Structure 1
Amino acid sequence: MKRNSFLVAHVSSSLTSSGAGVTEVVYQLSRHQNLGSSLHVVVVGLVDDCWANESSQWSDIETIPFSTIGPKQFGYAKNLTRTLVELNPDLVHLHGAWMYPAKAVLDWHRVTKRPYIISVHGMLAPVALSYGSIKKRIVSYLYQDDVFLNASMMHSTSHQESVDIMTYGLDIPVVQIPNGVVVPKFVRNVEPELKKVITLGRVHKKKGLKNLLVAWSFLESSFPDWELEIIGPDDGGELQILKNLAMQMKLRRVVFSGAVFGDAKWYKYHSASIFVLPTLSDNFAITVAESLACAVPVISSKGAPWEGLNEFKCGKWVEVGEYPLRKGLEEMMQLSSTERLEMGFRGRRWMENSFSWSKIATHFEIVYRDTIIKSTQDV
């Protein structure tokens, strides 16, 4: 352990690609904290069948993986609490809610009296709460509300997520820190020959992809040299629903691609002329930040907190729904390639200046230290 350092344990309900953006945040945050701070960081989390192929990604981070027993949606991992007690961190940073790791952190806290903070990653947004509501009410009664109430602090990535936390009824200090983004060294100077609108992420009904398909159905015939690509893994059977809808509307230039990772993901971003996020609800949407980092202009619905797209003139922030999405796409598709490239360059500069992971990691280190010191003074 680094001299005079605090030990911080990140606890996550997923360390694999099935965790999507949450996994990426945990990885990048822990990696940059290990690289650039005096903290000693350990990551503890649940894994699934993807771990065998993906564990090498975590080779530069001390990681303790746990396989689950029983229903995957509960995420029970034997000896998780005991491991946390034996690990003896000064603070736990819990990522997510509604699954067993949250209870394990609560049990660790009750044994050790040490503090933890929670990043809810959009899980308290009204739309998110509406999915699996019966399960969430049961879990809330059994332990989740106690997990929230015993936390030293909640972390939000945006003003809207801070509002969601307060609306849920939690009278707990909230620190607002955005997620970071990796800014690739490569930056393109020309658009790809095939003009493409892409969206990337879990294919889930909360992502608003039906609105996107309906919007595209009004545009396809007017823009014969453009293609729409929907990239990401199926979540809950939504992919087949979207494919059926595309067939019913007789869409000819819509491509459904599977999940992509690593270099393949960055290639997809660089292949796009426009990135679109039609989401009904997202606390941050790291795919927007990644697109901008690749100098790709973005259209995002107001289901995600990206009002800076308008402020920094690197895209459009539109109301949720098919019609605003259609108008935003039409306006940006009518621009020249040079105009879209200029928008993308402005977005990349914004990401470089405001969303570097090193800055985010430093901000969290300050929060961790203040929380640990305060907890010792309160004893």
Structure 2
Amino acid sequence: MKILRVISSMNPKGGGPCQGIRNTIPALQNIGVENEVVCLDAEDSDYLGKDLFKIHTLGAPKGPWAYNKNLIPWLVNNASKYHAIIIHGLWQYNSYAVYKAIKQVLKEQQLQIPYFVMPHGMLDPYFQKAPERRVKALRNWFFWKFIEHKVVNNATGVLFTCQEELLLARQTFTPYKPKNELNVGYGIVEPPQTAPHLINAFKAVCPELKEAPYLLFLSRIHQKKGVDILLEAYYNWITTENISQPIKLVIAGPGLETDYGKSLLDFINKHPVLKSHVFFTGMLSGDSKWGAYHGSEAFILNSHQENFGISIVEALACNKPVLISDKVNIWREIVNESAGFVETDTLEGTIKLLKSWQALSLEDKQIKSKQARQTFEKLYAIKPTALKLKDTLSAYIN
């Protein structure tokens, strides 16, 4: 089986979908599924040559729609080489181009190439309702009306990373009538096991923490992630509960230089008690990132919307229970597997997350840690998720 992935960009700095592709393809190659990628990046992009699979770059796109005149002709000329095509993401030219190219191939070559859409959470109703997204929501409505509903409803199937994403997608746009809704799951590669050099790498980034136990938030510093609510909840918790030695809070991720990030620093300055309890590290990667996971007691992400949350699954893989909101789409799985705690994405809900973790005995925390790892192995390890994707696609490929 040979699959073509179509995505706007494979630049690793974009994270998200392109990282998911990089996670999945090697595991698929090991079970006989060959993958290639076509993307709209410059042909001299500095990331090229670092992956073990073929990436076709067609040149940098133009405008916010990421238009590239080369994509449809390339797809028409090459579609017959593949058993199926997967579109990654919506709202940009790559999804429309696949839809048009597939129609053209059918008409001119009498070939029916199955194609699938993997929206990566882009059909979540949150993005149409969030006040700060009004302009983009209006844009998406027009795009859906004139383009994307044809792309989605004519696809062989829509691929979802979890059941909650599948259910939420039904609430956002009309007409929404996909031929097949397919929950294929999502996986990550096995992280490095804990080791002194990883812990030391993190300590070098955050020396103020010393040996204190801490909760880890690792994601973008963005309003959607609910960091402001997390800080307020943490402040209320340590000041109203009269906890003599509260667990520390480490907030790791890019975005502290933004207006939103600066507002968080202002909050810290207005409440000086937080200066010795909350630590911002900036973006972590490599050894320092894995050291942050392994050194923490638990992971916390009270996000207002999270399609899957790779950082959550990375925490599970490192034996760390997760404290998350019910707006993280894998919350059902976390509850079912007892891999952490789930509450609402409100101030009250976030305080409950902190209290729930604090109330556990050392023995109960150790049990939760084992359940976290078991959840990763059962649901999110890369090998079983790759096999599930292969089996799903095979059912629709002649």
Q: 1:211 aligned to 214, 229, 236, which one?
A: 229
Which residue of the partner structure matches residue 105 of structure 1? 98
Provide the C-alpha distance between the structure 1 equivalents of 2:7 and 2:251, rounded to a whole number of angstroms.
27
2:181 aligned to which of 156, 174, 177: 174
The structure-2 alpha-carbon separation of the partners of 1:90 and 1:310, relative to structure 1 and needing over 3 Å to count, comes to closer
Partner AA of 1:115 in structure 2: P
- Tell whether the 8 Å contact from 1:153 to 1:174 is kept in structure 2 after alignment: yes
User: By how many angstroms is 1:92 displaced?
Assistant: 0.9
Give the SS at the match of 1:178: coil
What's the counterpart of residue 376 of structure 1? Answer: none
1:195 counterpart (200, 208, 213): 213
Picking from 10, 14, 17, the partner of 2:9 is 14
| Residues 321-370 of structure 1: CA deviation (Å, up to 9, x unaligned) | 11111121123134345532331122112211232211111221122222
Paired residue secondary structure (2:68)? coil
Describe the shift of the 1:321–1:60 C-alpha distance in structure 2 as closer, same or farther (beyond 3 A). same
- Indicate how the Cα distance of structure 1 residues 187 and 343 shifts in structure 2: closer, same or farther if over 3 A, else same: farther
Give the unaligned 5+ runs of structure 1: 1-5, 374-379
TM-score calculated relative to the size of structure 1: 0.86
Moved more, 296-305 or 103-112: 103-112
TM-score of the pair, normalised by structure 2: 0.82
Which residue is equivalent to 1:82?
73
Q: Distance in 1 between matches of 2:42 and 2:292?
A: 26
CA contact (8 A) 1:296 1:341 kept: no
Instruction: Tell me if the contact between 1:68 and 1:78 (Cα under 8 Å) persists in the aligned partners.
Output: no
Q: Does the 8 A contact of 2:117 with 2:158 survive in 1?
A: yes
Note if 1:246 corresponds to 2:268: yes
Partner of 2:169: 165
* 2:124 aligned partner: 125
- Contact in 2 for aligned 1:7/1:41 (Cα 8 Å): yes
1:246/1:365 Cα in 2 relative to 1: closer, same or farther (>3 Å)? same
> Secondary structure at 2:331's aligned position in 1?
coil
Pairwise mapping of residues 208-287 of structure 1 onto structure 2 (< 5 A)? 208-221=226-239, 222=243, 224=245, 226-234=247-255, 237-250=259-272, 251-252=274-275, 253-287=277-311
Task: State the 1:291 CA deviation.
Answer: 0.3
CA contact (8 A) 2:302 2:345 kept: yes
Displacement of 1:306 in angstroms is 1.9
- Distance between the aligned counterparts of 1:231 and 1:9, measured in 2? 35
Question: Is 2:319 the counterpart of 1:295?
Answer: yes
Counterpart in the other structure of 1:377? none
When residues 48 and 224 of structure 1 are mapped into structure 2, their CA distance, relative to the original with a 3 A threshold, is: farther
Q: CA deviation at 1:220?
A: 4.0
TM-superposed CA distance for 1:148, in Å, is 1.4
Residues 299 and 174 (structure 1), Cα distance of their counterparts in 2 relative to 1, 3 Å cut: same
CA apart distance, 1:81: 2.1
Instruction: Note the residue ranges of structure 2 that are not aligned, 5 or more in a row.
Output: 107-112, 200-209
Between the aligned partners of 2:281 and 2:9, the Cα distance in structure 1 is 23
Greater displacement, 241-250 / 264-273: 241-250
* Distance (Å, rounded) in 2 between the aligned partners of 1:63 and 1:157: 23
8 A Cα contact 1:183 1:351, kept in partner? no
Structure 1: distance between partners of 2:358 and 2:23: 33
Partner Cα distance (1:143, 1:278) in 2: 34
Instruction: Summarize the Cα distance change of 1:263–1:66 in structure 2 as closer, same or farther, 3 Å threshold.
Output: farther
Q: Hey, what does 1:309 align to over in structure 2?
A: 334
Whichever of the two has the greater Rg, that structure is: 2
Q: In the alignment, is the contact (CA less than 8 A) between 1:13 and 1:75 conserved in 2?
A: yes
SS at match of 1:140: helix
Aligned residues: 363
Provide closer, same or farther for how the CA distance between residues 133 and 302 of structure 1 changes in structure 2, counting only shifts above 3 A.
same
The answer on whether the counterparts of 2:84 and 2:397 sit within 8 Å (CA) in structure 1 is: yes
1:112 aligns to what SS in structure 2? Answer: helix
